[in-house]
């Protein structure tokens, strides 16, 4: 079962904008009083003649004025139904006829409608709703004084006998309502036809939506490459830039190889060290000393033949001179090594400066994009070109689609139908406040009141049995946490302890999040008494302060609700039970409700921004 919308008029605490509130699958947050919304939905899902008295007590009035409500839902049989109820008159159930594209009456008998709701439509029992699929503020342990008792039976509602003046007044009201119902019926038929036409137009325009989605996707891809586009703009002509960069890189590589060879030669030459001073060279000193000795010996020999020894000083001094010349050459070579290093350094700086000039734009683009290789930049530019081409092609397809005559006509008609729908909805809201009874129902009541006004007053026979009542959800008699498990065990089967074990993991996660890990585990003993682990030690939940027991209760309740939604794929109804808790806990609860609503539908009555931000749909 899935709820699509509800409407209310004259119901205190439930005042949707325009009289109607739409619902979707997933997590729905409705700005309404939680207790009032729950009473309204229960009165629609479990219709009972006594609801008028319950509504009167809830609204604090001895009698109920014009109070009407409606509900549109999809049943388990995949059929759309519309339930309309006037709490002073009657109830109608309509079934959507796909061939006629309109709602057809099914029944006006309250008991039969209740049976249909429980049967093919698939509304869960009131006991299951109370035990597993709803959460009310009054259920919290801190709100329950000695436990929640069973709701007292509602006394039977007997239709009052109208006096002559009352009958006349009621007839005037019914005639006015009949006129409004006829107008509203025509407006509703027109609205249904417009909705069907709008559906067909939207189907016809889906191809355009796909083109628009493709254009949006191409635009998003192009937007993601905006830094690459900025780099491409800075390059100007990327192909010329890359060509100059590659040539400069090749020249730099060649120069780097030669510079490396030169530096290696310099290092090898410097490894030999500076030449030894000539005056410290033994061969040089030997030649000088030998030449002087021979010269002295020749001079000392006088006229003897030994004087010719002095001629040998010439080769000795020549040897020393030859060594001196070699030392001078070595000194000059050592000086050239130093100058050669300076030349290589200047050469390298010149090569680097030239490369920076030739490839500066490419290097700047690489640095801006965080790339290390020009090939990466080339790939990015190719992706940019492909993305821009995709945008151009998608825009061209959109232009062609918009220029098509059929598309133009469909778009114009779509706008016209939407405007007419808004006008009809406005008129329908003004006419009926978002709610309208069927013309046949108003006519039937009009005939009944006319007959009653003409006939003598009827007195109910003594001892008449009251009509069957909607089963009231029994609350836990005693400790609320144990009562919660006992009620869930009745619906799920098994014992309270087995139910606690089934939801222990989810409940433990929830209570840890709610208490910031002060409580880490939720469990139960064999008798269904709940306990939590705090600081590594088990603590009975019934001994906790009321605020902390509320958090344990909420953790168990949400775990049971998630399990019920996963198995039934039904609807859960929640009041604003998290009011007063910290912002962190409320936001955590909102995320949990959104996650569990993926299994079905959650309707949460709250105006809290923490939950409205997490909602899949707001009303």
Same domain, 194 and 232: no
Q: Is residue 326 in some structural domain?
A: yes
Q: Domain tally for the chain?
A: 2
Q: Is residue 151 in some structural domain?
A: no
Q: Is residue 255 in some structural domain?
A: yes
pTM more than 0.75 = no
The contacts of residue 95 (CB under 8 Å, 6+ apart) are 79, 80, 81, 103, 104, 105, 106
Q: What pLDDT, on a 0 to 100 scale, did the predictor assign at position 154?
A: 35
Same domain, 240 and 185: no
Q: Classify the C-alpha dihedral 397-403-407-411 as positive or negative.
A: positive
Same domain, 283 and 431: no
Q: Is residue 372 in some structural domain?
A: yes
Provide φ and ψ at 430, rounded to 5°.
-65, -35
Q: What pLDDT, on a 0 to 100 scale, did the predictor assign at position 590?
A: 92
Same domain, 279 and 236: yes
Same domain, 382 and 415: no
Same domain, 301 and 335: yes
Q: What pLDDT, on a 0 to 100 scale, did the predictor assign at position 401?
A: 82
Same domain, 254 and 375: yes
Q: Is residue 598 in some structural domain?
A: no
- What is the Cα–Cα distance from 569 to 510, expressed in whole angstroms? 21
Q: Is residue 424 in some structural domain?
A: yes
Q: Is residue 296 in some structural domain?
A: yes
Q: What pLDDT, on a 0 to 100 scale, did the predictor assign at position 420?
A: 83
Residue 610 near residue 580, CB atoms below 8 Å: no
Same domain, 255 and 382: yes
Same domain, 285 and 349: yes
Same domain, 293 and 335: yes
Q: Which long-range contacts (CB under 8 A, 24 or more apart) does 392-401 make?
A: 393/218, 394/211, 394/214, 394/215, 394/218, 394/219, 395/215, 397/211, 397/214, 397/215, 398/208, 398/211, 398/212, 398/215, 401/207, 401/208, 401/211
Same domain, 380 and 241: yes
Q: What pLDDT, on a 0 to 100 scale, did the predictor assign at position 466?
A: 45
Same domain, 337 and 445: no
Q: Which tens digit of pLDDT belongs to each residue from 407-435?
A: 788 888 888 888 887 787 777 666 655 45
Q: What pLDDT, on a 0 to 100 scale, did the predictor assign at position 477?
A: 45
- Which secondary-structure segment (H or E) carries 161? none
Mean of per-residue pLDDT scores for the chain: 79
Q: Is residue 616 in some structural domain?
A: no
Q: Which of 423, 439, 456 is the last residue of a domain?
A: 456
User: How many CB atoms within 10 Å of residue 367?
Assistant: 11
Q: Which tens digit of pLDDT belongs to each residue from 286-314?
A: 877 777 887 777 777 777 777 777 777 78
Which ranges of the chain have pLDDT less than 70? 17-19, 56, 58-66, 144-164, 192, 199, 273, 428-442, 452, 455-478
- What is the Cα–Cα distance from 98 to 83, expressed in whole angstroms? 17
State the residue range of the domain holding 182.
162-204+408-456
């Amino acid at each position: 079962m899935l709820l699509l919308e509800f409407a209310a008029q004259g119901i205190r605490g439930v005042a949707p904008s325009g009289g109607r509130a739409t619902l979707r699958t997933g997590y729905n947050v409705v700005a309404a009083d939680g207790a009032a919304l729950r009473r309204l939905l229960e009165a629609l899902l479990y219709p009972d003649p006594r609801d008028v008295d319950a509504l009167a007590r809830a609204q604090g009035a001895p009698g109920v004025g014009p109070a009407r409500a409606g509900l549109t839902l999809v049943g388990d049989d995949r059929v759309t139904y519309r339930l309309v109820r006037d709490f002073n008159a009657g109830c109608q159930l309509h079934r959507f006829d796909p061939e006629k594209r309109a709602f057809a009456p099914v029944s006006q008998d309250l008991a039969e409608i209740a049976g249909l709701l429980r049967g093919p439509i698939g509304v869960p029992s009131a006991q299951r709703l109370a035990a597993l699929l709803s959460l009310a503020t009054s259920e919290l342990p801190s709100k329950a004084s000695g436990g929640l008792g069973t709701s007292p039976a509602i006394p039977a509602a007997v239709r009052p006998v109208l006096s002559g003046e009352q009958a006349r007044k009621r007839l005037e009201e019914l005639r006015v309502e009949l006129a409004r119902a006829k107008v509203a019926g025509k407006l509703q038929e027109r609205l249904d036809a417009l909705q069907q036409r709008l559906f067909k137009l939207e189907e016809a325009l889906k191809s355009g939506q796909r083109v628009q989605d493709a254009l949006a996707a191409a635009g998003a891809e192009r937007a993601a490459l905006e830094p690459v586009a900025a780099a491409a703009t800075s390059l100007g002509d990327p192909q010329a830039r890359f060509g100059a960069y590659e040539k400069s890189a090749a020249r730099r590589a060649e120069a780097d190889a030669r510079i490396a060879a030169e530096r290696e030669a310099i290092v090898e030459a410097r490894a030999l060290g500076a030449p030894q001073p000539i005056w410290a060279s033994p061969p040089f000193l030997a030649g000088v000393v030998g030449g002087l000795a021979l010269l002295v010996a020749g001079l000392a020999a006088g006229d003897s033949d030994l004087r010719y020894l002095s001629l040998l000083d010439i080769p000795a001094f020549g040897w020393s001179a030859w060594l001196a010349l070699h030392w001078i050459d070595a000194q000059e070579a050592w000086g050239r090594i130093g100058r050669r290093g300076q030349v290589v350094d200047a050469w390298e700086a010149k090569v680097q400066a030239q490369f920076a000039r030739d490839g500066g734009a490419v290097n700047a683009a690489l640095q801006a994009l965080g790339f290390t290789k020009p090939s990466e930049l080339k790939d990015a530019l190719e992706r940019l070109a492909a993305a821009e081409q995709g945008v151009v092609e998608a825009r061209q397809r959109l232009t062609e689609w918009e220029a098509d005559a059929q598309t133009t006509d469909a778009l114009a008609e779509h706008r016209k139908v939407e405007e007419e729908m808004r006008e009809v909805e406005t008129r329908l809201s003004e006419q009926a406040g978002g709610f309208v009874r069927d013309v046949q129902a108003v006519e039937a009541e009009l005939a009944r009141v006319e007959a009653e006004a003409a006939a003598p007053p009827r007195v109910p026979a003594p001892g008449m049995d009251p009509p069957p009542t909607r089963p009231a959800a029994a609350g836990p008699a005693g400790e609320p946490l144990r009562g919660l498990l006992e009620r869930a065990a009745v619906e799920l089967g098994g014992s309270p302890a087995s139910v606690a074990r089934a939801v222990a993991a989810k409940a433990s996660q929830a209570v840890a999040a709610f208490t910031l890990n002060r409580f880490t585990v939720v469990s139960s003993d064999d008798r269904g008494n709940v306990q939590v682990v705090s600081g590594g030690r088990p603590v009975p939940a019934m001994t906790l302060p009321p605020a902390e027991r509320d958090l344990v209760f909420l953790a168990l309740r949400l775990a049971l609700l998630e399990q019920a939604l996963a198995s039934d794929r039904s609807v859960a109804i929640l009041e604003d039970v998290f009011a007063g808790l910290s912002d962190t806990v409320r936001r955590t609860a909102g995320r949990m409700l959104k996650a569990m609503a993926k299994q079905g539908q959650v309707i949460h009555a709250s105006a809290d921004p923490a939950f409205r931000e997490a909602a899949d749909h707001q009303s």
